[in-house]
Structure 1
Amino acid sequence: MSHKRIPKRKAAIAAGSVAALGAAALLLPNANASQTDGKDAAPKTLRAADASDLASLLATQLGEAYGGAFYDAAKKQVVVNVVGGDGKAADAVEKAGAVPRSVDNSLAALKSAARTLRTDATIPGTAWSVDPRTNQLRVTADSTVTGANWNKLTSTVDSLGSGMATVKKSAGTFKTFVDGGDAIFGGGARCSLGFNVTASDGSPAFLTAGHCGVAAKEWSDTQNGAPIATVDQATFPGDGDFSLVKYDDPNTQAASVVDVGNGQTVAINQAADAAVGQQVFRMGSTTGLNDGNVTGLDATVNYPEGTVTGLIQTDVCAEPGDSGGSLFTQDGSAIGLTSGGSGDCTVGGETFFQPVTTALTATGATLGTGAGAGAGDAGATAGAEPSDPAASDPAAGDQSGAADQSGTGDQSGTGDQSGTGDQSGTGDQSGTGDQSGTGDQSGTGVDDGSGMVSSNG
């Protein structure tokens, strides 16, 4: 079986290099560390990877007494919200190895409140997610939500009742992030690979953002190059932001890795659900490698192109150029695909991701591509610590690419991304409208030198 080789190109990232180097220092020394069996952990001491599984189990057991859960990274504990101080439920939480906390709102009540927001306050530029740490809905409005729309949003939040939701303003505007990661080009759009997978029929494929999949049917690894992959399924807007793209060559072998720069990769060995409080890493061509934490689940985002539900909310920064790329953990768990958000890596902001587990279920795909592809190639380089700021480079290539993003919804105000490389010619074309003001946006190539397609965003 032959390898599908992608020409290696050099990256030059100007923005976010300091933050990226810091994230690399956190990530790389343990990138290939083996995962211990959660059963060997002391009571109430769990890995972040186990938090979502335990929370799901307890949600089933507790029913209406369940008010959500989050991961306390400092104590390595899962904290479970128990409604009304239910003693029986609290005992069940402790028996399962988690820490009970008495709260007022059940998860069912919070989801009901979210449905009210969907019905009464679906306003472009707004978003909401469940935050179990506050036991409330976190409602956010970007800078475009003013006047009557702001009044409508705040009055709807007030109608939910005291202690049910909080609302705040966010810098910038909610938009899909485009043009980043291991670059792929199609129909004038530029996006990035998320994770390599195997489609349900056994063919090699990859996941990327849904707004990329609806922008073009065929995708190339070079600007104006011959297509190498074709969209099989795409969802955006609606119940997610994901697409499955099949490689045209059935003999393609693509490693299940994320390229984190300087010739180093992190092996992706499983897909996992996110847990609030969990540390995550995001790779993108505009801003390089950045880390942060999950801040909310089951997020609804009202983009200019339409409403998307079921997303992960984080405080990891991102900018135009990071769309479709990988959200993952230090131990090699695939968590999400970059969807969009507000702000940038200077002022911060909210960032939203499509859960990988949901995308895999919906498309019928499984993580990893090709016979023997995956951790084997990645292991040779993933454990070394970067020696210089070039480690923030996603190790993939020249950043010629895309700046013009016409046809993707009104996203004015994204700003001039100067200093990140000239990307004349392409852009992500999800949706409709005018994306004035996107400016120069840097990108990356697609090869880590192993001869396998590496996935990052």
Structure 2
Amino acid sequence: MRRTPTSLTPVRRTLRHVGLATLLVVGGLAAAGTLPAAADSGTPTATEESASPGLLDAMRRDFGLTRAQAEARLAAEERATALEPTARRTAGAAYAGSWFDADSGKLTVAVTADASGATVRALRDAGTAVRTVEHSARRLDAAKARVDRLDAPAGVSGWHVDPAANSVVVDVVAGERADNDVQRFVDRAREAGPVTVRTVAAAPETFAAGTVGGDPYYTGNVRCSIGFSVHGGFVTAGHCGRAGAGVSGWDGSYIGTFQGSSFPDNDYAWVSVGSGWWTVPVVLGWGTVSDQLVRGSAEAPVGASICRSGSTTHWHCGTVLAKNETVNYSQGAVHQMTKTSVCAEPGDSGGSFISGDQAQGVTSGGWGNCSSGGQTWFQPVNEILNRYGLTLHTA
């Protein structure tokens, strides 16, 4: 990894072998992302520029879409992502959350009954669907904050605000709902505000793994995946290593050191890069899909499609299910997580979640696997950048 490649072809062959660790390895790789060519009829759209063929292929595989449907969904999600901050400001105190509806291709904005007619018209004129609900986002967030102060038993998987349900949703592991500790927790949670209880298949676990040869990076006997390049290093999951721990690459050579790490409470970290390694704004497809350039970190709304890259299971796609969820791992609760329907397996921890060409977060944990399915949580990347004063490396 210390040599400078002389041509792009051998670089890409090496990158596909080492997987996501190659976000850090070779000069000139920023040009390696494969993007669709402009249509013959004119200038390419933003979606055509941001969606690699590999990303579209992954969406076709995981969502059962045609290429045209995948392109249309990405375009609709791009519009919804851009519209969400404006919709929140327009709704003001009446804002009760928002989410992307894949069937209509629109951002749905929930507002309380005291929203003025002018506000509702402004939201609809902007292109959103509007739903009237009972509880404001402020009230739901306050209720969740009160639940966050409770000690959760192992039978409680986590909890989050669900804007579509207009409630704080508490997830209980199947078979544990009758447990006395779980019942006491649910009773206390309901005292905090509007709460709905749902059942999930299993408790969440982190996705670190023991050392296996040929994978992206190691700290001690733990293997994890690189998330996104930042100027000076990369971001990843906090449970993969403590501050001060050294990091080795797929080939055993020294990469750098964990400069900051937080787990539990949070699950994020950043690693400095040196010793002949450097950063590039690319999420790689491991030869399964084409490489994807990273152009920013605009946050995708609930309901939007999202894809994950990791050293064990490579590329998989799903949807954003919830934001600001508290996940109750056996090591302790982790806050402000985003839940997705994307699968993951041990070794994928720290890897990239991306929507179009926008970085979303780093893989934390989940339940299930990529054979039978499951759910996975990520720590939002913007929170990591703000916490450590980092700048995302973008194309």
Do the structures match in fold with TM over 0.5? Answer: yes
Q: How many Å separate the matches in 1 of 2:366 and 2:145?
A: 21
1:325-355 CA-to-partner distances (Å, cap 9, x unmatched) read: 11112x3111111011122234433311011
How far apart in 1 are the matches of 2:268 and 2:3?
A: 26
Tell me, what secondary structure is at the counterpart of 1:23? Answer: helix
Per residue, is there more helix in 1 or in 2?
2
| 1:131 maps onto 2:157 in alignment | no
Letter in 2 for 1:120: L
Unpaired segments of 5 or more residues in structure 1? Answer: 13-19, 37-44, 199-203, 369-373, 376-457
| C-alpha contact 2:233 2:278 (8 A) present in aligned 1 | no
Q: Quick check: 1:337–1:355 contact (8 Å CA) kept in 2?
A: yes
Q: How does 1:272-311 map to 2 (within 5 A)?
A: 272-311=298-337
Q: Secondary structure at the match of 2:249?
A: coil
- Kindly state the Cα deviation for residue 76 of structure 1 after the two structures are TM-superposed: 2.3
Whole-angstrom CA distance in 2 between matches of 1:336 and 1:210:
12
Contact 2:366-2:376 within 8 A present in 1 as well: yes
Aligned counterpart for 2:181 among listed residues 145, 149, 154: 149
Superposed CA deviations along residues 139-167 of structure 1, whole A, max 9, x for unmatched, are 21235856222212332344345xx3322
Q: CA deviation at 1:234?
A: 1.3
* Residue in structure 1 matched with residue 342 of structure 2 by the alignment: 316
Q: Percent identity?
A: 33
Aligned to 1:394: none
Partner Cα distance (1:22, 1:74) in 2: 20
- Secondary structure of 2:140 counterpart: helix
Q: Give, in whole Å, the separation in 2 of the partners of 1:262 and 1:24.
A: 16
Q: CA deviation digits over 1:354-387, x for unaligned, max 9?
A: 111111121221222xxxxx65xxxxxxxxxxxx
**Contact kept? 1:131, 1:276, Cα under 8 Å:** no
The yes-or-no answer on 1:119 pairing with 2:166 is no
Choose which of 204, 208, 215 in structure 2 pairs with 1:178.
208
Is 1:355 aligned to residue 390 of structure 2? Answer: no
Distance in 1 between the 2:100 and 2:264 partners? 30
1:55 corresponds to 2:84:
yes
Give, in whole Å, the separation in 2 of the partners of 1:169 and 1:343: 15
Residue 240 (structure 2) pairs with residue 212 (structure 1): yes
SS at 2:350 equivalent: coil
Q: Kindly indicate whether the alpha-carbon contact (under 8 Å) linking 1:235 and 1:241 is maintained by their aligned counterparts in 2.
A: yes
Structure 2 CA distance for partners of 1:113 and 1:3, relative to 1, 3 Å: farther
**TM-score using structure 1 length:** 0.66
For the Cα contact (< 8 Å) 1:272–1:356, is it kept in 2? no
Query: 1:247, 1:11 → 2: CA distance?
Result: 17
Query: Which one of the candidate residues 204, 207, 229 is aligned to 2:256?
Result: 229
> In 2, distance between residues paired with 1:291 and 1:276?
14
Provide closer, same or farther for how the CA distance between residues 90 and 4 of structure 1 changes in structure 2, counting only shifts above 3 A.
farther
Structure with more of its chain in strand, by fraction: 2
SS of match in other structure, 1:320: coil
> What do residues 389-430 of structure 1 show as CA deviations (whole Å, max 9, x unaligned)?
xxxxxxxxxxxxxxxxxxxxxxxxxxxxxxxxxxxxxxxxxx
Name the SS for the 1:111 alignment partner. helix
Superposition pairs for residues 5-84 of structure 1, below 5 Å? 10=17, 23=58, 25=60, 47-84=76-113
Q: Deviations over 1:289-319 (max 9, x none)?
A: 2111001111111212122111111111122
Normalising by structure 2, report the TM-score: 0.76
1:206–1:29 distance in 2 versus 1, CA, 3 Å:
farther
Is the partner of 1:91 in helix, strand or coil? helix
1:237-256 correspondence to structure 2 within 5 Å: 237-238=264-265, 240-249=266-275, 252-256=277-281
Q: Which has the higher contact order (CA 8 A, sep 6+)?
A: 1
The 2-side partners of 1:297 and 1:185 are apart by: 29
8 Å CA contact 1:142, 1:342 repeated in 2: no
User: Which stretches in structure 2 are left out of the alignment for 5+ residues?
Assistant: 6-10, 20-54
* Mapped partners of 1:135, 1:326: distance in 2: 30
Matched length? 341
CA 1:254/1:159 → structure 2, altered by over 3 Å: closer, same or farther? same
- Shift in Å, 1:226: 3.6
What secondary structure does 2:284 align onto?
A: strand
**CA offsets per residue over residues 167-212 of structure 1, 9 Å max, x none?**
22222321111139962011222111011111xxxxx311111111
Q: CA deviation at 1:29?
A: 10
Alpha-carbon separation, structure 2, partners of 1:10 and 1:226: 16
